[in-house]
Amino acid sequence: MNLSDQGRRLTSDAGILKLMDDLGRAMSGEGRKYMLGGGNPAIIPEVAAVWREQMQHLLADTERFDRALGQYDTPQGRPGFLKAVAGMLRETYGWPITERNIAVTNGSQTAFYMLFLLLAGKTDATSNAARRRVLFPLMPEYIGYRDQALAPADFIAALPAIERIDSHTHKYHIDFDAIEQIDDLAAVCVSRPTNPTGNVLTHDELDRLSAFAQAREIPLIIDNAYGTPFPDIIFVDAEPIWNENTILSMSLSKIGLPSLRTGILVASEEIVSAISGANAIVGLANGTVGQAITERLFESGEILRISREIVQPFYKSRLDRATEAMHRSFGERFPWSAHISEGSLFLWIWFVDLPESTMELYERLKARDVIVVPGGYFSFGLPDAWKHADQCIRVNYALTPDDVEVGLDIIAEEVEAMWGKRADHLS
């Protein structure tokens, strides 16, 4: 098969492809598996009951049901849903938005592909004929962006400043001096809370980033897949921001509807109309069911209550249990530090000075039926390899607490064994 450059990129050993493949195989194979990889949210019984109830309402209203299934939506999304989302955000945050500022996509993953395609690359307006690039100002970042550039040169990233909070906790911060040096930019993109680290950019960092983007007349894309007001998997006080220059991305996935593929962008009318055009060209229209069964929850504000009173405490309690287990399993057996967990579903664990890469650790763990994600996948857009990321792993703490505990014990054994091969580490 004669593939184009882009075709080769899409069929290469993309990080996200390998990850989804390993997860799929692990889930379908024989025997007990400890699934700490992937980004699947938990199925929370009280929340699942809400979806069933809303589905029943939809089924009972035969006309609405038939139209939901039997008609294409507009490429921008379902009109009632767009209105309900805009109304909820206006009331909650006072943002000056209407339904013309909302666009729906088939999952937020698709929204990022379209945004990068719309903004990055070659343009006549670029100085010295360079390509305009998307800046990821704080590595490590979400693995799902990694292979979405049309050309690798369309992404550029910056390393973090690392704050050591105590002997086993750290936090990454944006190095503003470093990003000030970078030019030919098309957009800035951050996930907040960050997948994989659980970081939440501070208000000050967000304000500075917003000013940075405005000064360059480029949009600031904020990926709020785990943030407030829904699903609210965030454990610090951190409101989202929006202005005409911000593209805020949200998703129905992490509140519990990943299979209904519903991404929501809040953006300027210009961006919304560009995304609607891209939706029409790429896929005609979006799937409607996610919008149809959550529309009433947006209208009533119930989505906020579910997030605040059910989803957030659920993940906080899972996080507390996993954090305790991590300290119990790892103790002082080897050098380690976890990123402070301020949001998202993940523990990001740094095995400081680990003698081999966490790709080796990943293979060792896979052989013992524990699936994690090696940190190197979350590092991209950098001019040089970044050793730090290869000393880290991402652990999903959300799924089955007993499995997380056993998994962390096995991780401790394997890390210790890797150090054991280099017995001089404590001397």
Ligand X SMILES: Cc1ncc(COP(=O)(O)O)c(C=O)c1O
Distance separating alpha carbons of residues 149 and 130, to the nearest angstrom? 15
Q: Nearest approach, Cβ of 364 to ligand X (angstroms)?
A: 25
Residue type, 312: Q
- Alpha carbon distances (Å) from 288 to 17, 134, 273, 295: 26, 30, 19, 11
Residue type, 8: R
Residue 184 carries which DSSP code?
S
Contact mark string toward ligand X, 290..329, x via CB under 6 A: ----------------------------------------
Q: Nearest approach, Cβ of 271 to ligand X (angstroms)?
A: 17
**Is residue 263 close enough to count as binding ligand X by CB under 6 A?**
yes
For residues 120 and 186, the answer to whether their CB atoms sit within 8 Å is yes
Q: Nearest approach, Cβ of 187 to ligand X (angstroms)?
A: 15
One residue of 23, 44, 76, 109 binding ligand X per CB under 6 A: 109
Residue type, 149: A
Distance separating alpha carbons of residues 79 and 70, to the nearest angstrom? 16
Question: Quick one: which H or E segment has residue 222?
Answer: strand 220-223
Q: Which stretch binds ligand X (CB under 6 A): 20-28, 107-115, 119-127, 301-309?
A: 107-115
Q: Which of residues 23-42 bind ligand X (CB under 6 A)?
A: 39
**Is residue 396 close enough to count as binding ligand X by CB under 6 A?**
no
Q: Which stretch binds ligand X (CB under 6 A): 103-111, 132-140, 274-282, 307-315?
A: 103-111
One residue of 64, 74, 244, 258 binding ligand X per CB under 6 A: 258
Closest CA to 266 of 132, 126, 111: 111
Query: How many positions of this chain bind ligand X (CB under 6 A)?
Result: 14
Q: Nearest approach, Cβ of 312 to ligand X (angstroms)?
A: 17
Distance separating alpha carbons of residues 250 and 85, to the nearest angstrom? 11
Q: Nearest approach, Cβ of 294 to ligand X (angstroms)?
A: 13
- Alpha carbon distances (Å) from 408 to 166, 339, 368, 403: 21, 16, 12, 8
**Is residue 108 close enough to count as binding ligand X by CB under 6 A?**
yes
Q: Nearest approach, Cβ of 331 to ligand X (angstroms)?
A: 30
**Is residue 223 close enough to count as binding ligand X by CB under 6 A?**
yes
**Is residue 251 close enough to count as binding ligand X by CB under 6 A?**
yes
Size of the chain in residues: 427
For residues 40 and 256, the answer to whether their CB atoms sit within 8 Å is no
One residue of 76, 101, 195, 288 binding ligand X per CB under 6 A: 195
**Is residue 142 close enough to count as binding ligand X by CB under 6 A?**
yes
**Is residue 225 close enough to count as binding ligand X by CB under 6 A?**
yes
> What totals of helices (H) and strands (E) does the chain contain, helices first?
14, 15
**Is residue 107 close enough to count as binding ligand X by CB under 6 A?**
yes
Measured from the CB atom, is 109 or 337 closer to ligand X? Answer: 109
Q: Nearest approach, Cβ of 105 to ligand X (angstroms)?
A: 8
Strands 102-106 and 262-266, sheet pairing: antiparallel
Q: Nearest approach, Cβ of 314 to ligand X (angstroms)?
A: 17
User: Quick one: tokens of 370?
Assistant: 């524990």
Query: Given the structure tokens 């959550």, which residue do they identify?
Result: 294
Q: In the complex, which residues of this chain contact ligand X (CB under 6 A)?
A: 39, 107-109, 142, 144, 191, 195, 223, 225, 251, 253, 258, 263
